Structure 1
Amino acid sequence: MKLTERLVATGYLLLSGPRITGDGYYESCVLGFDDIQIELTV
């Protein structure tokens, strides 16, 4: 996922993924400001 790559390149910590879920979605998680976990699902 290009968005995940862009977030990591700008300093966000990658927590998981990107991966394809069992039902066919792409998913990744990054750590945002104030330690908020951001989950991206497409």
Structure 2
Amino acid sequence: MSISVSDELQLFAQEIQSFLSPNTLRDLARDVGFVQRTSKI
């Protein structure tokens, strides 16, 4: 049984979300430069 990369990433994302709060994820994404801005205001 082989798992595609997409499926693997989906499982990984679900696991991260279960451990970290949305605010923590947003801050982490901003720190690594993945998200430039969170709103258009």
Structure with higher Rg: it is 2
What is the TM-score when the length of structure 1 is the normalising length?
0.33
More helix by share: 2
TM norm structure 2: 0.33
Highest RCO, 1 vs 2 (Cα 8 Å, sep ≥ 6): 1
